[in-house]
Structure formats: C-alpha cells, structure tokens
C-alpha cells in the first residue's frame, strides 16, 4: 500500500490519506473510537463491508501501528481489535469530518441504517464544550432499539453505548434527532408531536439541545 497507492507527496495530509484514506478504513476507526471490538462486532457495526476488506484494513492498520490485536478474557476468548494511542489520535479528525458531514445529512435515505456507534460519535462530535461550562447532565438516549448514554460534566462529555440506570433524563427519539440538533425543530415541537419522548425534568430537552449543535 505504501508505494502502490501513494500520492507521491511529502506532506502530512497526503500521508494521512495513505494510512487511513482507503475505503472503510476510517469507518473502522470510527467504531473503534467507541471501544475495542471483535471482528464480528465490526461486521455488525458496518453492514455491507466485505469480510476480506475488513481483514485487509485491520491488517494494514495493525502494520502501520493504528490498530492492535488484544486477547479477550475467558469466557469467549478470541481476539479483539483496539486503537493504539496513535490511532486514538485520529479522534479529532473523525470529529471534524463528522461535524462537516452532519450538516449535509438531510433526511435518511431508505437504505440507511443507524448504529449505536455512529450515534455515540455523533454526540461526541457535536458536543459544545463552551455551552456545557458549569453544567451537569446525565442522559440515557433511546433511538428505536438502540440505547446509549452520555454524561456531561465540567465542560466534557463521555458518551458510550448501553443504558444508564440512574440517568437524570431518558430521551426517546428517532428521525427528529437531527433536526433538533440542527435547530430545525424546537424541543417544544418535538415533544408536542411525539417525535421525542422525555422522562425527567420538563426543561431537560432544552438543556440537552443546548449542549449539542449541528
């Protein structure tokens, strides 16, 4: 790869594209930013990826020090893939691209799915640290069958898959989620027409929406 599909430029940006610019590579990184995953987890999170391509990308990124294999504890055993520190450094770039793309999402197409990892990254990348100064909020979010949570504290966010039993708020939503973050729909409207359902303080959705922005 290094010499095959290189760009022929001694340039940091070109080098980045050579290392993670091939098809599916950054999608794999996106999912691994959420946490270590097994081969089959990645397959599930990236519907449509051919197994040989997944194998090839993992091998390449292992060789270039972006991904590493780690043994999984018993039971289950086997191996999982996780980002190295150098791979984790891609987070800023993934978030920047994610923010840019989120503005251009439009409405979901018929064949488009939503995954839990994409929502975790969406929360992290649209998070507004300045708006979160001094605020504290823990939320469990449900998007159809998908459950994730976020904890906002001291201007930082931790977002991860799964429920959060003692969350301040439980927000159940769906297609209204993007318009809410893009300020194309107000929390009031969303709650009124039932595209967002809230459990917790009445103004929690307003607070939530202030913390994120597309």
Please, which residue, 27 or 137, has the CB nearer to DNA?
Answer: 27
Bridge-based pairing of strands 146-153 and 156-161 is antiparallel
State in angstroms the smallest separation of the CB of 112 from DNA. Answer: 14
Pick from a copy of itself, DNA, none: which does 202 bind, CB < 5 to 8 A by kind?
Answer: none
Radius of gyration of the chain (CA): 19
- Whether 148 and 170 have beta carbons less than 8 Å apart is answered as no
Minimum separation from the CB atom of position 166 to a copy of itself (A): 29
CB of 162 to DNA, least distance (A): 18
Q: What residues contact 147, with CB distance under 8 A and at least 6 apart?
A: 116, 140, 141, 161, 162, 163
The one of a copy of itself, DNA, none whose footprint includes residue 172, by CB under 5 to 8 A per kind, is none
- Cα(179)–Cα(177) distance, integer angstroms: 6
In this structure, the chain runs to a length of: 214
Looking at beta carbons only, is 56 or 102 nearer to a copy of itself? 102
Contacts (CB under 7 A) with DNA, residues 32-71: 38-41, 48-53, 55-56, 58, 69
């Amino acid at each position: 790869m290094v010499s095959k599909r290189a760009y022929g430029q001694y340039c940091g940006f070109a080098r980045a594209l050579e290392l993670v610019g091939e098809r599916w590579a950054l999608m794999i990184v996106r999912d691994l930013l959420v946490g270590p995953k097994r081969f089959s987890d990645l397959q599930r999170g990236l519907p449509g990826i051919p197994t040989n391509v997944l194998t090839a990308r993992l091998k390449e990124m292992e060789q270039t020090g972006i991904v590493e294999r780690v043994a999984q504890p018993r039971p289950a055993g086997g191996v999982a893939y996780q980002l190295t520190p150098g791979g984790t450094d891609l987070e800023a770039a993934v978030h920047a691209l994610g923010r840019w793309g989120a503005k251009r999402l439009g409405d979901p197409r018929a064949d488009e799915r939503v995954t839990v990892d994409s929502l975790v990254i969406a929360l992290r990348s649209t998070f507004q640290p300045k708006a979160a100064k001094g605020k504290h909020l823990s939320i469990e979010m449900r998007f159809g069958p998908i459950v994730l949570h976020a904890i906002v504290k001291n201007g930082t966010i931790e977002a991860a898959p799964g429920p959060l039993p003692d969350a301040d708020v439980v927000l159940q939503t769906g297609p209204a989620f993007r318009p809410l973050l893009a300020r194309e729909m107000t929390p009031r409207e969303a709650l009124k027409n039932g595209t967002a359902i809230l459990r917790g303080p009445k103004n929690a959705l307003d607070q939530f929406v202030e913390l994120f922005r597309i």
